[in-house]
Structures are given as structure tokens and as C-alpha cells.
Chain A
Amino acid sequence: MTTLDYLVLFGTILGIATYGVLATRKVGGLDTYLKGDQRIGWGTIGLSVMATQASAITFLSTPGQGFKSGLSFVQNYFGLPLALIIVAGVFLPIYRRLKVYTAYEYLGKRFDGKTRLLGAALFLLQRGLAAGITIYAPAIIVSSVLNWPLGITVLGTGILVVIYTVTGGSEAVSLTQRYQMSVILIGMGVAFAVVLIKLPSDVSAEGALAVAGAMGKLNAVEWKFDINERYTVWSGIFGGLFLSLSYFGTDQSQVQRYLTGRSLRESRMGLMFNAVLKIPMQFFILLLGVLVFVFYQFERQPVFFNEAVWESQKQGAHAETFAGIESRFDAVEDEKSIAIKSFLRARESGSAAAEETAKTQMLTLADASAAIRVEAQEALVAADAQAKASDADYVFITFVLNYLPQGLVGLLVAVIFCAALSSTASELNALGATTMVDFYRHVYKKDADDAHSLKASKWFTGMWGVVAIGFALFANLLENLIEAVNILGSIFYGVVLGVFLVAFFVKWVRGTAVFWGALIAQALVIVLFFQLEISYLWFNFIGCGLTMGFALILQAIRGNQPVSA
């Protein structure tokens, strides 16, 4: 990166954070701190909800996923519009009507204290660890490719986000997210334009898409119903619906964003903004990855995109093996570039037979290239058992660093940090609010006034910031724990959603039935997770269904007990 890139990078992230601190320096009270005094408009809410969901890894991994697997991941979001309609129509009016600070406070009002604590505890467990990963995951990639010290990168990101989240609370989070998301959208748009411009002059955008289509990269919609297939229309709509409903309806990091709305209408509009724009946004980020794939069909691409790891092995004990793999890969890539050009010429000639022949040759070479990549990954793991075989997260950043002009590299790295800061800020804000409202003021200090609660909220937000930074600093020692955290998220969400759906829609079920129903369902989901080999999205559906089913059965057995208010 050049001086100009560093100026753009630090100017952007520090400028937005400073603005967030200054614009919200006069926090009036608890309502302002936790709900931004409910005066935020729909545009900011929409961008804030979008920024909360889109972490840095979204902008590093999603183009990489497009590069490797095409557009199929977009189906993961097919349940999202329907979920947001349900949240806007059912969940949101109740939260606003009850004037709650957290989603779990609602469970306390609807059921009882223990169900509220269960919901809040599951949230703190998942998000507390996830906040550390939100900082760590981009830091490890950026520090690797830019040769920055990992610890400094983690500390810099973490301390910056803690400062403006602790001082300005929810309003600072929403305001900074508006500008961070704008930077992200502009940056990704610029990257999209650059990759199109960088294609060879004799390859049009239409030709590039034809190559991607022929290589099976434009596989956006899979209608086949196969429970073992990770991304299909059906797993996206049903599993994605339950995942999105749980995330947007019951996860405090999202609930807190739309509760800042100046009216019900503004909050709803913010959610509908996401219902309409999220799928096209993901589609274009994946398509960007697909176009980077096409770009690399005509440019020399590394056999393994995490070049720091690859180069270290090339200097190591198995240098000859790695050099051999690389030279065979380069030879096949050269042949493939020629075959692709032949395919495009055959396509333009209008001869179906010539096009089919050229396509077959192109695909044969693509298979050969893919086989060498697999061989390279296996060689890496054989040489170093700790090495990660996947390099998808490094594809986009490698392209950015090598092919974007000065200044724009800084902008794209700023995109990654803006995404990391925005999602971490929402998480810390929500963790602080939940700890204060659902534990501290609910269990420990019930008579706390607003001034005391405001001070406590700041302390809890800061405390979670320290936990997240600490986890991120030591995450490299705990690779398996990172995987476990991701698994935890996928197996808990359905159960939490089940509790909320019973609360909203089954009025005769009481707290004790849903509490024990949720615990039994959670235990069963964990067992099923280890027994069934199905797409993780389905566990949201299963957990939700089991929780609702057990709650209904237990309530039917208990009969119509009096409510303990």
C-alpha cells in the first residue's frame, strides 16, 4: 500500500469514528444510550441493519465464495424478505408497544423471569464469542497479506470501536454505520467497475459472463429438493426463513438497531429496505467474485491464494514438490487461457458445433487446473498439519492489492475495516444493553435509577469490548473454538426463535412449559447435530419446531395453571 492508500484508509475509518463520538457526545439518558432516543429515520435504520449483518468477513469471503462456487450462496438469503415481513408485521409493533430495551425483556413480560434469563443467556453466549471473531477474522487476513502485526491490528480495531460505542451508545452505532455502509457500497461498486475494466480488451462483459456460465459459476437458483445439498431454493426459503426470523426478530444486536426508529413506520421502512436490497447486494458481491474468477482466467493466478503460506512452504523442506505443482499449474493455466479465447471466438462465429468442441476443451483444462489446486492444498496440509486448506478468503484481497490503482486499494481495505467496526459496534452495544437490562437491573439492582443504569451500561459495553479484544488476541491459539462458536450459533438460533414464536402466537402456553420445552429441544438439537449430516440451515427449522412442540405438549400436560405475574 502507498502513502495515498494509508491516507484514504485511516482518513475514512478515523473520520467516521470521530464523527460518531462528536455527534453523540451529549448522551442525555438511558433511552438515548440504548435506543438513540428513538429519533432515527428509516434510511439510517436500513443501512444500520444491513451493516450489522454484513461483517468484514462478508466482504472478504463472499467474493471468494463466488470465485470458488459461483452464485449458489445467494439462495441462503431467500428466506430473508419473508422473515423481515413477519418481523415488521408482528415482532416490531409488540416490542415498540411494550417499550422494551431488549427482546428478552419481552419474554419476561410475556412469560416469566427464568425464560427471559434463558433467552438473554443464550444471546450473550453466542454474541460474546462472536464479537471476538468479528474482530479477529478480518485482522488475520489483512495482517497476513499486508504484513501488519496481528496483535496491533486487533488492538487498533478493537479499541477504536470500543471508544465510540461506549461513549455514544446506540445512536453513535447507527450514525457511524450509515457512513460505514456508504463507504462499503461505494467501495464494492468501484471494485466491480475495476474488474470489468481490467478484463482483456477482446473480452466483453457479455463474453465474460458466457465463460462464467459455461464453467457453471452462474448457478444462482437450484430447484432440486435435496436435504444434503447445502444451498437450494428450498433450504434457502425454509431454513433461511427460520434463520433470518431468529436473527432479525430475536437477536438483540439487530432488535436494538430498529428499535431506534423515530416511529413504527420508520422502523418498518428500514426493515423493508433490507427485504428489498439484501438479495441484490449479495448477488452482486458474489457476481464480483465470479468476474474476478473470469479475470484470472486471462491473468496469472496463484495456485494458492494465501501466498504467504505458499511461499513459506516453497522455501521449506518440500520446496521441489511445491515448485513442481506450481509450474504444472501455470502450464495448464496458459493452455486454458488459449482455450477460453477459442471458445469465445467459436461463440461469436455462430457455429454451435465449434462452440461445443471449444467448450469441451475449455472445461477439460478447467478440471485439470482444479485438480492441481486440490493437489496443492493436500500438499500444504501434508507439509503442515496446522495449515488451512481453504484460500477462498484471500482471493478478493489478493486481487485488490495487486490490480486496483493507488488510493482505491486504501478504499477497499477501508471497506473491510468499516464492515468489521460496524458489526462489532452493534454486537458490543447489544451485549452491554442485555447485560444491564436483563441481568444487572433485573436480578441484581432492581431499584437502579436511569443515571446509574446509564453508567452501568457504559461499563458493561466496555467490559464486553475487552472480552472481544481478548478473545480476538488469543483466537489464533483456539482455531477449533472458532469453529465451535459457529456451530453454537447455528444450533441455538432455532430454539430461541421457537420460544419467541410461542410467545407471539400461542397465547395459552405459559413460561414454565416453554422454558423446559426449550431446554429439552436444545438438548435434542445438539444430539441431532452430531447424528445427522444435513445442511446446518435445517437446524434452525428443527430447533424451532421442537421447542414449539414440546412447549405445547408440556402446557397441555400441566393444564391451565394460573399465571405468576
Chain B
Amino acid sequence: MTTFAEHQAAPNADAENESRTGMPGIPTWKGVYITVFIVFAVFVVAMWGFEIFFS
């Protein structure tokens, strides 16, 4: 079994190639995460508005 240090030092093509590739239209994962967070914020505001509208 290899050690943690050996694993860390090993080349990691998987992560290197793909960490920069997001979704169609959003080229980076950072962009994807920000988009997901914005979608969440929109949901919260929408649910709050829904509650106020029908209260």
C-alpha cells in the first residue's frame, strides 16, 4: 500500500484535466459553483416571496 505522501506526489491527470472543465456554457468549476449558489439564493428569495404573497 502506498503512503499518503506518495499519493500526493503522484501525477494526477484526472484532476488536472478536468478541474478546469465545467459545464456547457460555464467553462470553469468555480463558475459552476457560483451559479449553483446564485440558483440557491434565488430559490430562497422566491420561497420567501411566495410566503409573503399568500400570507
Contact = CB atoms under 8 A, between A and B. Distances in A.
Interface in A182-214: 209-210, 212-214
A84 B3 CA distance: 28
Interface stretch (A125-133, A159-167, A217-225, A389-397): A217-225
A276 B36 contact: yes
A216 B51 CA distance: 9
Interface stretch (A21-29, A267-275, A308-316, A380-388): A267-275
A494 interface: no
Interface string A257-274: 000000111001100100
A220 B54 CA distance: 11
Given A71-B51, A78-B44, A221-B47, A97 B15 contact: yes
State which size class the interface on B falls in.
Answer: 20 to 34
A265 B50 contact: no
A213 B18 contact: no
A280 B43 contact: yes
A81 B37 contact: yes
Query: Most chain-B CB neighbours within 10 Å: which of A88, A268, A283?
Result: A268
A219 B21 contact: no
Contacts of B33: 85, 88-89
Contacts of B53: 213
Contacts of A96: 14-15
Interface residues of A, number: 39
Nearest to A264: B18
Contacts of A221: 44, 47-48, 51
A98 interface: yes
Interface in B19-41: 19, 21, 23, 29, 32-33, 36-37, 39-40
Contact of A85 (B3, B37, B44): B37
B31 to A, nearest CB: 12
Nearest to A223: B48
Contacts of A88: 29, 33
A233 B15 CA distance: 34
B44 A209 contact: no
A353 interface: no
A269 B37 CA distance: 14
A279 B5 CA distance: 39
Given A213-B55, A264-B14, A272-B36, A110 B19 contact: no
B54 A213 contact: yes
A565 interface: yes
A178 B34 CA distance: 27
Residue from A84, A96, A218, A280 with most neighbouring chain B CB atoms (10 Å): A218
Contacts of A74: 47
A165 B32 CA distance: 34
B21 A265 contact: yes
Interface string A39-52: 00000000000000
B44 to A, nearest CB: 6
Given A97-B7, A264-B14, A213 B44 contact: no
A219 B50 CA distance: 9
Contacts of B4: 98, 109-110, 565
A189 B34 CA distance: 30
Interface string A217-261: 011110000000000010000000000000000000000000000
A302 interface: no
Interface of B: 3-5, 7, 10, 12, 14-15, 18-19, 21, 23, 29, 32-33, 36-37, 39-40, 43-44, 47-48, 50-51, 53-55
Given A78-B40, A220-B51, A272-B32, 11 more contacts: A71-B51, A81-B40, A88-B33, A96-B14, A97-B7, A97-B14, A218-B50, A263-B18, A264-B18, A279-B43, A565-B4
Interface of A: 71, 74, 78, 81-82, 84-85, 88-89, 93, 96-99, 109-110, 209-210, 212-214, 216, 218-221, 233, 263-265, 268-269, 272, 275-276, 279-280, 283, 565
7 tightest Cβ-Cβ pairs between the two chains A and B: A213-B54, A220-B47, A109-B4, A221-B48, A81-B40, A264-B18, A85-B33
